[in-house]
Amino acid sequence: MKRAVFCFISIICIFGLIGCSSKVSGEKQEDKKVIKIGITPNPFKEIVEEIKPLVKEKGYELEVKEFTDYMTPNTALVDKELDVNFYQHIPFLNKFNNDKHADLTYASKVFIAPIGIYSKKIKDIKELKENSEIGIPNDPTNEARALKLLASAGLIKVKDGDFITIVDITENPKKLNIKELDAAQIPRTLDQLDIGVINTNFALAAKLNPAKDSIYKEAEDSPYSNILAVRKEDKDKPYVKALSEVLTSKEFKKFIEDKYKGVLIPSF
């Protein structure tokens, strides 16, 4: 009997230690001090460099990984190779979740980076001739965004919808030849196009200023706000809250307004 009681007490103690060990391990994971953040090129790269001191004041370090495409940062976040990413807008995130059966969400809206139309051949959108060559991003949400921009410029008409493609063009009076291209490729092929619809980060990387060099761009009330994306289970963890607070702080807002002067528009 004494041996049985001793064994029973021993088992309880072992499970108690395992439980304590798991709790400590979980706390360490939640209270991580190095945040792995995925970004795409500028403005995100220089923004992350700017906020590093503010993040450090909150007790965290940023480990930055830069990507040149729009899909890999979300895949890396799902696979836990990243803790957060900062490069996309809400419709893009929703589309990724739907297509990949993922469960990503966002901690905060940060800014709008209006998409624009650029050209090395014309100075005014009204100068565009029939049969002109146009480059637009080929990823689902940015293709829809680009087509809606062309429609708002009066060049085409399209069906309603969040994820329209070139097959949803209902009127194309100028018989424009619209090419679906990788978003990063459009600035590099702008010489070969009459106009190109370019996302702000790739425009800046190509030394194009959206406020000065675009011949037409999105309105400031665009619904495409860039976000700090996270896994849903991590949304309320201290390191996510700390980074979100920095990206929606008065100091950061002033930096955006002073540095980008309308190229980026705070969403908070």
- Reply yes or no on domain 116-217 having CATH 3.40.50.12780: no
Asked if 123 and 215 count as a contact pair (C-beta separation under 8 A), the reply is yes
Q: Is the pLDDT of residue 158 over 50?
A: yes
**Residue ranges per structural domain of the chain:** 32-114+223-266, 116-217
Beta-carbon count within 10 A of 148 CB: 19
Collapsing DSSP states into helix, strand and coil, what is residue 199? Answer: coil
Residue 167 sits at the vertex; the CA angle it makes with 163 and 171, to the nearest 5 degrees, is 105
Convert the pLDDT of each residue in 58-92 to its tens digit.
999 999 999 999 999 999 999 999 999 999 999 99
Asked if 26 and 213 count as a contact pair (C-beta separation under 8 A), the reply is no
Q: Which helix (H) or strand (E) holds 169?
A: strand 169-171
Residue bearing the bigger pLDDT, 1 or 146: 146
Query: pLDDT value at position 140?
Result: 83
List the one residue out of 206, 170, 169 whose CA is nearest residue 191. 206
Q: Which helix (H) or strand (E) holds 2?
A: helix 2-30
Q: Which helix (H) or strand (E) holds 110?
A: strand 104-112
- Reply yes or no on domain 32-114+223-266 having CATH 3.40.190.10: yes
Question: Distance (Å, rounded) from C-alpha 215 to C-alpha 235?
Answer: 39
125, two tokens: 């959108």
Query: pLDDT value at position 13?
Result: 42
Residue 11 pLDDT class (50, 70, 90 cuts): very low
Fold agreement between 32-114+223-266 and 116-217: yes
Q: Where are the beta strands (DSSP E) in 189-261?
A: 195-198, 216-217, 225-231
The model's pTM is 0.77
Question: What mean pLDDT do residues 104-125 have?
Answer: 96
